[in-house]
Amino acid sequence: MKQKVLVLFLAVITLGLTSCNSNDDETGIVIDGIDLSQDVDCCSAEEALQVYRFIQTVKIIPELSTEVDGKYEVWAYTKTGTLHKGYNDLYFVVTKKKTGNYVKFFDIKNITPLMNMVKMNMWHSTPVGGSVEVFDTTRPAVKHGWVSLLMNTSEAGSWQFSYDLEVLGSKGGVQNKVINVEALPEGQDWLKSFKVGDETFYLSLVNPTDFKTGTNTIQAYISKKNTPATTPYALAAEKFTIEIDPRMPDMGNHTSPDNTPLTKQKDGSYSGNINLTMTGLWRIHLTVKDSKGNFVAGGDDLKDGFSSLYWDVTL
């Protein structure tokens, strides 16, 4: 029902939009009894429309959505409305219960997924992105973060999820909510680990379902296992280079030209180029070098002439 009210509200916004490039343009606009020029906590008409359009491209995760102080609704989204092993984008939107307006001043902190390994009688966390930030400037009411989940839910273990939220002085969030983490389909494997001395690092491949035939930007994150293991694994401070060698194991292990290594970017991610010349299973063999150019993973552990450290992606 709440979503239907929001749709109606935004339909009225759409009809009322003529020129909405600044807050000054909207002075005096009254929509369904709501004066946007006075609701300074919320989006302008144009911003609200952009948020609405964005959330049509994602789906709600009910387990991670909540209410705060009877005044605000907190909505959590992923692309599919589910969580899976490996990298997952998370999006958060807050609305005022009284009006349905999107609120752009809120903070999401302390995202903490925890897995209970039943047979081993232990708990561990997983790689989690840094701070949850505004998704982009046209949608200031959408916040974005990510998690990379080490395992899917199974008889071996189950997941709980927590985060803290503050919105306009009210505090809330989700605590120890049981979530289901799906396994990836056969032919997909987007999360791998390697060790440097006694330290464990995780390589999370970002959204390979967006890959198409031809040249693609390939993005990943490197996170370091924390001590204690129940603390979310932050991005590694160390600087690495990830060299890639994509092969098609079902097609005689042929490769492709014009691939470039993934190097560290200002935002902490790693980015390079990969050329996928046809559809099918691609095994992206990885070798990792430290800041001095020394091989630290994949370089001296070859299987049939290829690194045994790899991601699998099926187009």
Q: What is the pLDDT of residue 138?
A: 87
User: How far apart are alpha carbons 133 and 137 in whole angstroms?
Assistant: 11
pLDDT > 70 fraction of the chain, expressed in percent and rounded: 86
Q: What is the pLDDT of residue 78?
A: 98
Q: What global pTM score does this model have?
A: 0.87
User: How far apart are alpha carbons 297 and 308 in whole angstroms?
Assistant: 9
pLDDT > 90 fraction of the chain, expressed in percent and rounded: 78
Report how many domains make up the chain. Answer: 2
φ, ψ (nearest 5 deg) of residue 21: -90, -10
Where is the domain boundary, 138, 162, 182?
182
- If one compares 230 and 37, the residue with the highest pLDDT of the two is 230
Closest CA to 291 of 260, 255, 264, 258: 264
Query: Is a pLDDT exceeding 70 seen at residue 182?
Result: yes
Q: What is the pLDDT of residue 137?
A: 87
Where is the domain boundary, 163, 182, 201?
182
Cβ–Cβ under 8 Å, residues 233 and 203? no
- Tell me, yes or no, whether 105 and 140 share the same domain: yes
In the three-class reduction of DSSP (H, G, I as helix; E, B as strand; rest coil), residue 307 is classed as: strand
Average pLDDT over residues 247-258: 95
Query: Is a pLDDT exceeding 80 seen at residue 109?
Result: yes
Enclosing domain of residue 118? 2-182
Q: Which residue has the tokens 């020029």?
A: 37
Where is the domain boundary, 120, 155, 182?
182
Average pLDDT over residues 161-188: 97
- Tell me, yes or no, whether 104 and 176 share the same domain: yes
- Tell me, yes or no, whether 64 and 211 share the same domain: no
